[in-house]
Structure 1
Amino acid sequence: MPSELFVRSMLYLSLTVVGVPGNVAVIMAFLLLLYRENRLLPADAIVLHLACANLLVVGVRCLLETLESFYVTKVLTDVGCKTVIFVYRTSRSLSIWLTFVLSTYQCLSISPPGSRWASLRALFAKYLGLVFFCLWLINTCMSSAAILFSFGSQNASAQHGINVQFCYVYFPSKLSIQANGAGQVGRDVVPMVLMTLASLIILIFLYKHSRHVKGLRGGTGGGGGAEQRAAKSVVALVTLYVVLYGVDNGIWVYTLTAKKAMKSAFLSDLRIFFSSLYAALSPLVIIVSNRKVHGQLRCLKTEKPIEKATTLSTM
């Protein structure tokens, strides 16, 4: 195996090893919470949906790329490439927009009770299912080009193509590839700007709240309530997103503007790595900062020794 391919394989393997168990743990925690309490709060439902999208990103793209790199299986044929790139692009964009939805809802959650923003939060929670449906519909339609233009073999006669290592994306004209690239950048940048604005509002609120608490307690601050802890968690996720997807989109813009860059598998790997890194690291942020997830996983861990001890005692 060439050294470049080995390094690439290890990078994708690290994303798979971290991202798949992490997202599965978050999903299991919320499913247990749903089973025990028979309901999920809107913010919990958004995080659960986000973990599912991230699991698709890491599981479909990174896991299959790892298996292909180590010659374990051959799945990236024409049909395989169309399926993998379509699912990857759809779940990747869903991950972005769900992070924006989460930051927006959290921004509304810290508004004072009885205010106009609190009423908007209730309306937002009421139609959350419709929001999920619209996000799936819009992002699925925007990723449909992958079904038409993705192939598992290289076409030497094609002039407008992007090399993504084991797959190739060929467009009929330079205008079509630029339009598709601009659409992807816009799909990423718009929620990035909006969620950054929402995070700034959250940070301003947290700063004012901490100063108010310090004034009431004579200079000693408190740890904050559940809403404040959740707000800090969302700000951490948004910061992680902005950094990683900022690098991803910077490389993508360079790929579109430099002719030779479109045929570079190395640049394509860098883009996929940074965009998938968010899907792999975000569940770790959720597990550490979300008390519900942490509590459910701790209960699951402590229940196993109890069940094992009970089984042994009955033997």
Structure 2
Amino acid sequence: MAASDVAVGIIFLSQTVVGVLGNSFLLLHYLVLYFTGHRVKPTDLILKHLIVANLLTLLCKGVPQTIEAFSLEFSLSDIECKLLFYVHRVGRCMSIGSTCLLSIFQAITISPRDSSCSELKVKAPRYIGTSLCLSCILYMLINIIILMYMTRKWNNTTMTTLKDFGYCSSFHRDITTVTLFAALLLFPDAVCVGLMLWASSSMVLTLHRHKQRMQHIQKTISPRFSPESRATKTILLLVSTFVSFYTLSCISQVCLTVIYNPNLFLVNMAAIVSGCFPAVSPLLLMSRDASASRFCFSWIENRKSPVLMMNM
């Protein structure tokens, strides 16, 4: 096994383990809050949806890529390849949709009372569940086309109609079909990114105006310590991280689509970039959410204490 393959395998393994553990801790934290009767914020439902989407993305991409990088023997059937890529794509799209909905909801929440969004503040929490369900159905329908393209890995190297992705393959299509296919998949993503940028700009402007007003009013508590301001800054950090990684992911995906026979390095780089946000986002959320951080460390301490008691 080449050193480069080992390095890529370690990257995939680290990314997958860190991402799965981080998202699992966060999901468990929100479930504990829900079942213990704690006050649940409207954004918690969106965050749980985002966490599940991140887990699907990491498991469906990180695990097989790690196995492939370490050159371990495994084979997937035609149906398994179709489902693996389909679930990964739906999870990735739902991650985009959840982040977009989170930014829009927070922009509405902190909007001034005299703004055009004032009436939506009361109505917005009612439509969160419906919006998530509709976006999930939409992405599931759009990505059905993935099932038509993906197939299992063929050992026959003379088959030039297949594009190799390591553990699975896809059928080549003419440039017109590929262009229509790419446009169909990228259009909802582009709309979501545009809405995220608009919502982020609105939140930054609202925070700036609020800070200017507070400079003229003598208060003992700085606005940066308010829950709304802290939550807004967390979402802005999450959105900016997402847009950065998503831009790199789009560039790599376009290269994979356009290039007739991409090399293994490009395939691995595209997979690594696509897994960055699902792996990093729970760390960003826990770093800004004190209760989630305390839950994570208390769980680790509770797991360690029986071992320590046995060694005493």
- Once residues 267 and 304 of structure 2 are traced to their aligned partners in structure 1, the CA distance between those partners, rounded to angstroms, is 46
Q: Which ranges of structure 2 fall in alignment gaps of 5 or more residues?
A: none
- For 1:79, the equivalent position in structure 2 comes to 79
Where in structure 2 are the equivalents of 1:186-201 lying within 5 Å? 186-201=187-202
Structure 2 counterpart SS, 1:112 = coil
Please give the root-mean-square deviation of Cα atoms over the aligned residues, in Å. Answer: 2.7
Partner of 1:252: 253
Deviation at 1:282, TM superposition (A): 0.4
Aligned counterpart, 1:214: 215
Aligned: 1:44 with 2:5:
no
Give the number of equivalent residue pairs: 306
TM-score, scaled to structure 1 = 0.87
Distance 1:302 1:37 in 2: 24
Matched-pair contact (CA < 8 Å) for 1:251–1:271: yes
**Cα distance change, pair 295–121 in 1 and its aligned pair in 2 (3 A):** farther
Partner in structure 1 of residue 117 of structure 2: 117
Structure 1 residue 173 displacement after superposition: 3.1
1:119, distance to aligned residue in structure 2 (A): 2.7
Cα distance, 1:222–1:38 mapped onto 2, change above 3 Å: closer
> Which segments of 5 or more consecutive residues in structure 1 lack a partner in the other structure?
none
Kept in 1, the 8 Å contact 2:75–2:167? The answer is no
1:226 aligns with 2:211: no
Kindly provide the CA deviation profile for residues 40-88 of structure 1, in whole angstroms up to 9, marking residues without a partner as x.
3220110111011101111221023213433455153322211211110
- More deviation, 165-174/53-62: 165-174
Letter in structure 2 aligned against 1:288:
S
TM-score when normalising by structure 2: 0.88
SS at structure 1 position matched to 2:51: helix
**Segment of structure 1 superposing worse, 164-173 or 124-133:** 164-173
Q: Work out the CA distance in 1 between the residues paired with 2:181 and 2:122.
A: 36
Q: How does 1:302-313 map to 2 (within 5 A)?
A: none
**Matched ranges for 1:5-20 at <5 A:** 5-20=5-20
Relative to structure 2, which stretch is displaced further, 61-70 or 136-145?
Answer: 61-70
Q: Secondary structure at the match of 1:151?
A: strand
CA contact (8 A) 1:99 1:238 kept: yes
Aligned to 1:165: 166
> Take 1:214 and 1:25, find their aligned partners in 2: how far apart are those partners?
39
Letter of the 2:125 partner, please give it.
A
Question: What is the Cα deviation at residue 145 of structure 1?
Answer: 1.8
- Residue 286 of structure 2 aligns to which amino acid in structure 1? I
**Aligned counterparts of 2:215 and 2:254: Cα–Cα separation in 1:** 46
SS of alignment partner, residue 111 of structure 2: coil
The answer to whether the 8 Å contact 1:165/1:269 transfers is: no
Q: Alpha carbons of 1:105 and 1:224: their partners in 2 closer, same or farther (altered >3 Å)?
A: same
Equivalent position SS for 1:127 = helix
Distance, in Å, in 1 between the alignment partners of 2:137 and 2:187 is 17
Secondary structure, counterpart of 2:225 in structure 1: coil
Match of 1:268 in 2: 267
- Equivalent position SS for 2:268: helix
8 Å contact from structure 1 (residues 19, 280) kept in 2:
yes
Distance 1:230 1:169, change over 3 A: same
Q: Report how far residue 14 of structure 1 moved.
A: 1.6
Residues 13 and 66 in structure 1, CA contact (< 8 A), matched pair in contact too: yes
Percent of aligned pairs with the same amino acid:
24
The match for 2:287 is 288
Q: Do 1:248 and 1:274's aligned partners in 2 also have CA atoms closer than 8 Å?
A: yes
How far apart in 2 are the matches of 1:275 and 1:122? 36
Match of 1:175 in 2: 176
> Contact (CA 8 Å) 1:162, 1:169: kept in 2 or not?
yes
Contact 2:68 2:166 survives alignment (8 Å): no
Code of the residue aligned with 2:285 in structure 1: it is: I
Contact 1:110 1:227 in 2 (8 A): yes
Aligned counterparts of 1:299 and 1:255: Cα–Cα separation in 2: 43
1:296 deviation in Å? 3.7
Residue equivalent to 2:205: 204
**Structure 1 counterpart of 2:262, one-letter code:** K
The aligned amino acid for 1:245 is Y
2:66 paired with 1:66: yes
After superposition, the Cα gap between the structure-2 partners of 1:158 and 1:142, relative to the gap in structure 1 and judged at 3 Å, is farther
